[in-house]
Chains A and B, each alone.
Chain A
Amino acid sequence: MKRAPVLMAMTCGVIAAAANGAPASAGVLDQVKQRGELICGSNPGLAGFGVPDDKGKWTGFDVDYCRAISAAIFGDPDKVKYVPLTAKDRFTALQTGEIDVLVRNTTWTMTGDTAVGASFTSINFYDQQAFMVRARLGVKSALELNGAEICVQRGTTNELNLADFFRAHKMDYKPVAFGSAAETVRAYDAHRCDVFTSDSSALYAERLRMTNPAENIVLPERISREPFAAAVRKGDGQWFDVVRWVGFGLVAAEEAGITKANVEEKRASDNPELRRMLGVDGKLGSGIGLPNEWLVNIVRAVGNYGEIYERNLGENSRLKIPRGQNNLWNKGGLMYAPPIR
C-alpha cells in the first residue's frame, strides 16, 4: 500500500488546516510588500482612464493612480499587475480579495460603502451622467427622449440614474443593457438604440471608437453626480489610509507646485511645508507604513494630479476634457487635499 502514507499525510494536512480555522489575516500592505506586486482592478479598456496598448503596457488616468500607489510602496511605479474588470464583476473581485485596490472609474455611493463591503478612499474625478444621440435625430434636450431605446451598461449607477430620470419626468423608455462597455458602444453604433448613456467622460472617450464620431452629439442635461474614487476592501484601516493619502498627496503636490521636473529641487528647499511633505523633516511616511520619501517617489514616477490629468484626459490627450470641477479648489474646482502634517 504505497498510497497509504500519502493519503494519511493529506488527511492530516486537511484536518490541521481546518483546526487552524480562519486564514491568517496579515494587512493588505504587508501582503503587497511580501508579494512584491500591487494587484490593481482596472477598466478593460476605456480611452483616457485605462487601456492596454499593443505591447500590453497599461496607460491612463486610473492606471497612473495604481502606478502612484506602487511608487509610494516600492519606489517603482511598474510593480503593478492589472486585472481588467467589467462593471458587473468589479465589486466581487474586490470582495473576494482577487485585487488589492479598485481604481476603475467607479462611482462612490452609499450602497458601495455599506452593502457591497467596499471602502471608497478619495475622489479622483468628478463626473456626471449624460446622453449621446445622433445629430440627425434633431433632439436638443434629454426631455425630448420620450419613447427612446437607450443603450446602457449593466450593473452600473448609469442604469439606475437612467430609470430615476425617466421616472421623475414621467417619460417612457426602453433600456437595452449589455454586460460590457464595448458591447454597449457597438450596439449603439449599429443603431440598435437611439441614445447611449454613460458618464460624460466615457461618452467623449467612447465616441472616438465609433464609426463616425462627428455625427454623435452629447445632450446638455447632466442627470447625476458621479464622483469616481479608488476603493479598497472594508476593514483594513492601514491600507485604506495608504490608498487615500496617495490620492491626497497627488493633489497636495499640485497645489504646492511640486512637479515631475522640479521635485528634486523642491526637496532641497527650506520651506518647512515642502520639507515635511517630501520627507526631509518628520516621519509622516513611516507613520502609515511607507518609506519617508513616499511623495517624492510618486511625483518622480507619475507627476502631480494636474500632470496626470493633462497627460491622460486634458489638453495633451485625445479626449481634451476641460478641468472644470476637477480643478484645484483655489482655481474654481473641487479638488482639495487635507494638510500633510
Chain B
Amino acid sequence: MKAGKPVRTYGQGRGPAIAWWGNPAARALIWQALLAIAVISLFVWAGRNVVTNLRASHITWGFGFLAEPASFDITGSLIPFRAGDSYGRALMAGFGNTLTASLTAIVIATALGFVVGVARLSNNALVARSASAYVEVLRNTPLLLQLLVWYNVVLKALPGPRQSIALPGGLLLNNRGLYGPWPVESPGWNAVGAGLLTALGLCIGLAAWSARRRREGKAALTLWAIAPAVLICLPLAAAWLTAGSLVGALPVTWPELRGFNVGGGVTLLPEFVALVLGLSLYTSAFIAEIVRSGVQAVPKGQREAGRALGLGEGPILRLIVIPQALRLIIPPLTGQYLNLTKNSSLAVAIGYPDLVSIGAGPVLQNTGQALEVISLIMLIYLGLSLLTALLMNWWNARMALAER
C-alpha cells in the first residue's frame, strides 16, 4: 500500500471507528470459514489415510472386479445367477431379492397395519385389547429375534420333502419351501403377458376418463364390473388368437418329488417367507399406531357434521375421516417404508440372499474390494430410500389440503 492513501475504516464519520474484528458480520464470516476449513481438512485427512493404508496393504482401488466371473451360486433369486456369471450380476441378483422382499412386506405391512390400527379404535373391548397386545408385543421386541423365531417356526412346523403337504391347486408345502405350478415359456404365455399389460393400461385410462366425467357431473363408469372383465378376457383372447386354440397353448410345470427334493414349478423359499413375515408383522405394529393417531387426530366435529348431513358411517369414514387422516398418516408412513427396506438387510441372519448378504459375503470376500463393495451397497440403499421418499412425497402433495 502506498503511503499517503487514506486508511479505510468502518463506520466512517458515524461515531468512533470499529476495528474489522469488531464487526459481527466479519466475525461470523471468519468463524464459518474456519469451520469449513476444519471440515474439509477432516475429509482430506481421512482420504489420505485411506490412500496410504490401501497402498500399504497393496490393494488397488477400482470397480473392474464387477465384470469378473464369480464362482459361487445363489438359490432362489428373481434374477437368475449361476457360478460363472459376473460379480456385478451377483450384486444385481441380491438387489432384486432385497426389492422383492421389501415390496412384498410393504404391501402386507400396510394392509395389516390399517386393519390393526382401526381395530384399536373399535368399541368392542376384545378387539381393541387384542389389537393393543399385538402392537405392544411386536413393537417392543427386537426384529432380529422375531426373524429367527419365524424362521425356526417355519422350519420346525413343516415336514420334510418326502412328506410334503399337498394343498389345493397343485401346491406342495414342506420345510424346503412352498411349491406351485409355473408357466413354461411359450407363444401363448407371451401373448397373455402382452394382453395383461394392454388391459392394465386400458383400465388406468378408463379410470382417469371416469374420474373426469364424475368431475364434470356426468355419470361415472361402473369400473368394478368393467375392470375385471377387461383384465381376464383380453389376455385370454390374445392367447387364443396367437395359438389358434386355448387347449395346450398355456403349458405349465407342476411341482413333483424328484430325487431328494421337489422339482419343477416355482418355489417360495422358507427364508423368504420368514423374512417377509417378520418384516411385515414388525412394521405393521408401527403402521397401526400411525393409523390410529391419524384417525384420532381428525376432529370429532367432522364426524358429527357428516352425521348432521345424513351420511351413514361408511361414507363418513370413506369421504370425511380417511382423506383427512391420510394427510397425517403419509409422512410418518414414508419413514416406516424406509425403515422396512433398510431392515430387510437382517436377511443375512436367516440365509436369504439379499443385497447385503451377497455383497458383504462372497463378493467382498473373494475380491477383497471392501471399500468399493460397501460404498456401492450404501449408494444402492440411499438411491432406493430417496426414490421411496420421492414417491411418497408426491402422494403426500396430492393428498395435502388444497388451500384456495
Residues of A within 8 A of B (CB): 7-8, 10-11, 14-15, 17-19, 21-23, 25, 87-88, 91-92, 95, 97, 111, 114-117, 137, 146-149, 154-156, 159-160, 162-164, 166-167, 173-179, 183-184, 187, 190-192, 194, 233-235
A147/B261 contact (C-beta < 8 A), A87-B365, A192-B176 known: yes
**A109 CA to B261 CA, complexed, in Å:** 34
Q: Does B221 contact A (CB under 8 A)?
A: no
Q: Which of chain B's residues have a CB closer than 8 A to the CB of A167?
A: 83-84
Q: Which of chain A's residues have a CB closer than 8 A to the CB of B152?
A: 190
**A163 CA to B70 CA, complexed, in Å:** 10
Instruction: Name the residue on A nearest B269 (C-beta).
Output: A176
Chain B binding surface SS class: helix
Q: Which of chain B's residues have a CB closer than 8 A to the CB of A19?
A: 41
**A88 touching B75, Cβ below 8 Å:** no
Show 30 residue pairs from A and B whose CB-CB distance is below 8 angstroms, ordered by the A residue.
Answer: A11-B34, A11-B37, A14-B41, A14-B42, A14-B45, A15-B37, A15-B38, A17-B45, A19-B41, A23-B49, A111-B366, A116-B365, A116-B368, A117-B58, A147-B260, A147-B263, A148-B261, A149-B75, A149-B260, A154-B357, A156-B365, A160-B362, A164-B83, A167-B84, A173-B73, A177-B351, A179-B349, A183-B349, A187-B155, A190-B155
What number of A-B contacts does a CB cutoff of 8 Å give? 155
Within 8 A of A (CB), among B266-280: 270-271
**B259 touching A159, Cβ below 8 Å:** no
Q: Does B35 contact A (CB under 8 A)?
A: yes
Q: Which of chain A's residues have a CB closer than 8 A to the CB of B209?
A: none
**B362 touching A154, Cβ below 8 Å:** yes
Residues of B within 8 A of A (CB): 31, 34-35, 37-38, 41-42, 44-45, 48-49, 52-53, 56-59, 71-76, 83-84, 152, 155-156, 160, 175-176, 258-261, 263, 270-271, 348-351, 353, 357, 360-362, 364-370
- List 8 tightest A-B contacts by C-beta distance, closest first: A117-B57, A18-B41, A116-B368, A115-B368, A155-B365, A154-B361, A163-B83, A22-B52
CB distance from B201 to the nearest CB of A (A): 38
Instruction: Name the residue on B nearest A25 (C-beta).
Output: B56
**B366 touching A183, Cβ below 8 Å:** no
**B72 touching A233, Cβ below 8 Å:** no
Q: Which of chain B's residues have a CB closer than 8 A to the CB of A173?
A: 73
CB distance from A92 to the nearest CB of B (A): 5
**B369 touching A115, Cβ below 8 Å:** yes
A21/B365 contact (C-beta < 8 A), A190-B152, A235-B57 known: no
**A117 CA to B31 CA, complexed, in Å:** 42
Instruction: Name the residue on A nearest B54 (C-beta).
Output: A117
**A25 CA to B155 CA, complexed, in Å:** 51
**A23 CA to B45 CA, complexed, in Å:** 9
Instruction: Name the residue on B nearest A17 (C-beta).
Output: B45
Among candidates A8, A146, A156, A183, residue contacting B259 with C-beta atoms closer than 8 Å: A146
